[in-house]
Amino acid sequence: MANKEALRELQGRLAERLQEARELDHTVGWLAVECAGYPFLLPLAEAGEIFQPAALVGVPHVLPWFLGVANLRGVLTGVVDLAAFLGLRERATAPLREQGRLVALSPRLEVNAALLVDRLAGLRNLEQLAAEPASSGPAAPAFIGVRYRDPAGRVWQELSLAALARDERFLRIGRGD
């Protein structure tokens, strides 16, 4: 029970810091999250509220990474398992879904979607990170941004939620589309 209270307190503090960060005039800031052990940075300006996992209503004939729809503050919202969408794992199991968090996309992006992430890892800003040189591998989707290294040596991948909200693959949730 104490662990649940600690998690609620952490989520509350993160929500407060997220709101404070939005109100400050930072040039760049991110919500740091983890999915399937991989670290990601979600731009604060493109992220919405953070929710405890909600009851999901399944949707037939959708791709495995689309978990269903949830009522988040009275708004019917599609829920996407971010790690499964990115091909980092199969669809999240029920215990993982219960422990994760839903990060809603900002209403300004005009897509009622939330991303299931495994863990919140706090807030980051540009002063805490150093950009990594771009790789010369195959072209990445438009929503894959810059890679950054933190002082501990961990590399974080930026994901543009605005570009994700326009991505054809993200928008086509049906199996036959």
Domains of the chain, each with CATH number or no CATH:
2-171 (2.40.50.180)
Query: Which helix (DSSP H) or strand (DSSP E) does residue 137 occupy?
Result: none
Give the SS3 label for residue 20. helix
Q: What share of the chain is helix, strand, coil (3-state, %, to 5)?
A: 30, 35, 35
**pLDDT (mean) for 26-43:** 90
The residue whose two tokens read 């993200």 is 170
* Mean residue pLDDT across the chain: 88
Is the predicted pLDDT of residue 17 greater than 90, yes or no?
A: no
Evaluate if residue 106 carries a pLDDT over 60.
yes
pLDDT at 64 over 90: yes
pLDDT given at position 68: 95
Residue 10 has pLDDT above 70, yes or no: no
Instruction: Write out pLDDT tens, residues 142-168.
Output: 999 999 999 999 999 999 999 999 999
Q: Grade residue 177 by pLDDT with cuts at 50, 70 and 90.
A: low
pLDDT above 80: residue 117: yes
Beta pairing, strands 144-149 & 101-105: unpaired
pLDDT value for 26? 47
pLDDT number for residue 45: 96
- Region 126-155 average pLDDT: 90
